[in-house]
Homo-oligomer: A and B are copies of this chain.
Amino acid sequence: MATLEDISVSAAINSLSAVAFLVAFAMLRLQPINDRVYFPKWYLKGIRGSPIRYGPLSRFVNLDFRTYIRFLNWMPAALRMPEPELIDHAGLDSAVYIRIYLLGLKIFIPITILALVVLVPVNWTGKTLELKQFKNLTFSNIDKLSISNVPTGSKRFWAHLLMSYVFSFWTCYVLYKEYKIIATMRLEFLASQNRHPDQFTVLVRNVPPDPDEPVSEHIEHFFCVNHPDHYLTHQVVYNAVKLAKLVAKKKSFQNWLVYYQNKYERNLLKKPTTKTGFWGLWGSRVDAIDYYTAEIGRLNEEVNAERDRVISDSEAIVPAAFVSFKTRWGAAVCAQTQQSSNPTIWLTEWAPEPRDVYWDNLAIPYVELTIRRLLMAVALFFLTFFYMIPMAFVQSLANIDGIEKVLPFLKPLIEKDVVKSFIQGFLPGIALKIFLILLPTILMTMSKIEGFISLSSLEKRSASKFHLFILVNVFLGSVIAGTALQQLKQFIEAPTGDFPKTIGMSIPMKATFFITYIMVDGWSGIAAEILRLVPLVMFHIKNTFLVKTDQDREQAMDPGCLDFATSEPRIQFYFLLGLVYSVVTPVLLPFIVAFFAFSFMVFRHQIINVYDQKYESGAAFWPDVHLRILIGLIIAQIIHMGLLSATGADKSTTPWLIAQPIMTIWFHKFCKGRFESAFVKFPLQDAMVKDTLERATEPNLNLKAYLQDAYIHPVFKGDELDRLVAVDEEENNPLVPTKRNSQHGSKHGSDVSPEAGVLR
């Protein structure tokens, strides 16, 4: 068991590393040469064209020392941009995402204050751990502040019971308010959005084969008959997997060509050469520039041939299409209704944004989809529950005795105080972290196999898988296997009612472990996030070898984006910890609050200055976030129940706690009925309002031309075209002209821009 000293060592290490990251960030971000790493968003927006120079001296290093003095300025700057402007600037997804951190603050600041004021004195004066029979056990000072210090059967547990209710009510209240706010934000966002192709378009899948006519005509006839007044046009989906591969190959060859051309320009004496074999490692040596030029020419022809084949060959059309309607009303109707009496064909759903579409999954038949989901459910089960074995092993290493038993020759080293503190305070967190890094890719692949058709739904699905994984492996795994691996077996054979008791009993003992975990993952991890080490290095490598024009430099930027699938379940883990320990070990709460506050600031800075979202789903993920916080709450309530009944509190307390999870489940149902439809359905009234407004303001709009090429597989567009279309959608048709529009293209807009986030 880690003592207060171990915690202090860990806190010191983590605070220092966090501060080190922050200082490094503060220095690096002021160098003009790194400007595109730390402020890519502004370049992508077209507000900034080249780095701001400090003084006339250098393009690369900032020599204006006054700016260094204000090196922590980014923090208030990050908080200064008002929310409506933030939504405008970074999209609703990002703005709502950082509200999760804000929600954490709203929930936990009052809980922390109340818990410290009420429960800590109650626990502290419990004095169980000072009794003689416990003298042989080593308890840390932290345990004296926890529920373990209250004597068995004490009346003091009524305080914990009451607080458990108060905390639950407060959490639900804040969640309700937040759900309401976010539903309103989403509705306003959708209502104020400019014209988008997805507003008029429905994705139709599982078009049944027709012996008499090709897919495209079959679709047209079906919708002409069944939506006669509303059907406008449709776009078929081509199976362009091979074409996409060829295009990717061509792009890679172009990169190499540029690389060798740059090399040649710098040293005109030596013509660069390469080998034609695998990865340039063997084969005959040839002139690199000539070779790649020829290869690109050949690939160009292949790409064109394949493109022609795909467009002309009816076999290359998959039985799915994007069907567009004359009005938003017509699309809303088609997306929400069932078309055919056979529910496995003519499946319609609202089309995702063009850039949100995951093209490879559009053609999966219904039965195959069901089987894929079954297989993935089984795979997820095995992944979740058999991953536990290595985890338990690592966790047992965190126990000094365990290491000494396994590796006895390390004993003299380990017994040193510093090393001991390090192992106990730091290692478990690191070990967990490494395990978690490997996982998201696997989970995303599984979601892709399950056949979701948009990036946003893939991310949402992966997030829920990851959440389950964290619950079982990180939380339950740490709580149970951490104290003893054997407990796992005991646990299965224990009486039914002991399920929550077993967990409840080991929860207070794991408080110190989770405190270190919060510091490693929450504090240092977030500080590392803002430093962006990997993109920094990558940018400079690309900048050195591949960049010739400003446009190349723009492509070398990797702004990255919020990785919902991994980061949201991790936030959920902090909610869970906070809710569980709110009653048990209140001293853990300030660490949670610090995490939320720090993360809020960092991510607000990142979404303002760095991240470029790949798609905009209009905060469609919020119901999941809400649900998972409630799952955390219910788990906490059950653990409190187990803990109170196990510590033999008054017999009369436990029944009172049974009502808690039931009421929470009811609250979930209530919120679901009240708000969820705002995130999954499309009210006809709103569609009608927008249609009417548009008909009045733009009576001569040629919608068919506008929608004609909206849903074309990206490989059919050039890269340039791609971006232009995206900008076009967003900015060409504003119902209300935006401020951003007028700044578009002004190279040094940031110097005078009112966007606070970029001011230094």
Query: Which of A's residues lie within 8 Å of B, judged by CB?
Result: 187, 222, 225-227, 229, 332-333, 336-341, 343-344, 346, 366, 370, 374, 377-378, 492-497, 499, 662, 666, 669-670, 673-678, 681-686, 688
Q: Which residue of B lies closest to A343 (CB)?
A: B677
* A227 to B337 CA separation, bound complex (whole angstroms): 15
| 7 interchain residue pairs of minimum CB distance | A343-B677, A338-B681, A341-B683, A336-B337, A374-B666, A338-B683, A333-B333
* A interface majority secondary structure: helix
Q: Which residue of B lies closest to A497 (CB)?
A: B492
* A677 to B492 CA separation, bound complex (whole angstroms): 40
Most buried by B among A222, A670, A684, A688: A684
Contact in complex: A333, B337 (CB < 8 Å) = yes
* A340 to B688 CA separation, bound complex (whole angstroms): 11
Least Cβ distance of A376 to chain B in Å? 11
8 more CB-based (< 8 A) A-B contacts, given A229-B229, A333-B337, A493-B497 = A337-B337, A343-B674, A343-B675, A378-B662, A492-B496, A492-B497, A493-B496, A496-B499
* A666 to B376 CA separation, bound complex (whole angstroms): 12
Least Cβ distance of A688 to chain B in Å? 5
The residues of B that contact A344 with a CB separation of less than 8 Å are: 673-674
Least Cβ distance of A350 to chain B in Å? 12
Q: Which residue of B lies closest to A687 (CB)?
A: B226
Least Cβ distance of A229 to chain B in Å? 7
Least Cβ distance of A713 to chain B in Å? 28
* A245 to B389 CA separation, bound complex (whole angstroms): 69
The residues of B that contact A662 with a CB separation of less than 8 Å are: 378
Also in contact, A685 and B339, with CB within 8 A (given A229-B229, A666-B374, A669-B370): yes
The residues of B that contact A493 with a CB separation of less than 8 Å are: 495-497
This chain: how many copies in the complex? 2
Name 25 A/B residue pairs within 8 A (Cβ), A-sorted.
A187-B341, A225-B685, A225-B688, A226-B684, A227-B684, A229-B229, A333-B337, A336-B336, A337-B337, A337-B681, A338-B681, A338-B682, A340-B683, A343-B673, A343-B674, A343-B676, A344-B673, A366-B674, A370-B673, A374-B666, A492-B495, A492-B497, A493-B497, A495-B495, A496-B499
Q: Which residue of B lies closest to A229 (CB)?
A: B229
Also in contact, A226 and B685, with CB within 8 A (given A333-B333, A344-B674, A374-B666): yes
Contact of A336 (CB < 8 Å), options: B227, B338, B374, B674: B338
The residues of B that contact A685 with a CB separation of less than 8 Å are: 222, 225-226, 339-341, 346
Least Cβ distance of A366 to chain B in Å? 7
* A276 to B517 CA separation, bound complex (whole angstroms): 83
Q: Which residue of B lies closest to A499 (CB)?
A: B496
Q: Which residue of B lies closest to A494 (CB)?
A: B495
* A675 to B344 CA separation, bound complex (whole angstroms): 9
Contact in complex: B494, A670 (CB < 8 Å) = no
Most buried by B among A222, A333, A681: A333
Q: Which residue of B lies closest to A669 (CB)?
A: B370
Contact in complex: A337, B684 (CB < 8 Å) = yes
Most buried by B among A222, A493, A683: A683
Least Cβ distance of A161 to chain B in Å? 20
* A337 to B329 CA separation, bound complex (whole angstroms): 11
* A497 to B187 CA separation, bound complex (whole angstroms): 48
Contact in complex: B332, A337 (CB < 8 Å) = yes
Least Cβ distance of A227 to chain B in Å? 8
* A666 to B614 CA separation, bound complex (whole angstroms): 34
Contact in complex: A366, B673 (CB < 8 Å) = yes
The residues of B that contact A336 with a CB separation of less than 8 Å are: 336-338
The residues of B that contact A688 with a CB separation of less than 8 Å are: 225-226
* A674 to B662 CA separation, bound complex (whole angstroms): 33
* A343 to B671 CA separation, bound complex (whole angstroms): 11
The residues of B that contact A674 with a CB separation of less than 8 Å are: 343-344, 366
Q: Which residue of B lies closest to A495 (CB)?
A: B493
The residues of B that contact A496 with a CB separation of less than 8 Å are: 492-496, 499
The residues of B that contact A378 with a CB separation of less than 8 Å are: 662
* A340 to B682 CA separation, bound complex (whole angstroms): 8
* A681 to B677 CA separation, bound complex (whole angstroms): 18
Least Cβ distance of A667 to chain B in Å? 10
The residues of B that contact A227 with a CB separation of less than 8 Å are: 684
Least Cβ distance of A637 to chain B in Å? 17
The residues of B that contact A225 with a CB separation of less than 8 Å are: 685, 688
* A225 to B497 CA separation, bound complex (whole angstroms): 58
The residues of B that contact A341 with a CB separation of less than 8 Å are: 187, 678, 683, 685-686
Least Cβ distance of A543 to chain B in Å? 48
Least Cβ distance of A308 to chain B in Å? 36
* A684 to B229 CA separation, bound complex (whole angstroms): 14
* A33 to B337 CA separation, bound complex (whole angstroms): 54
* A538 to B499 CA separation, bound complex (whole angstroms): 57
* A682 to B492 CA separation, bound complex (whole angstroms): 48
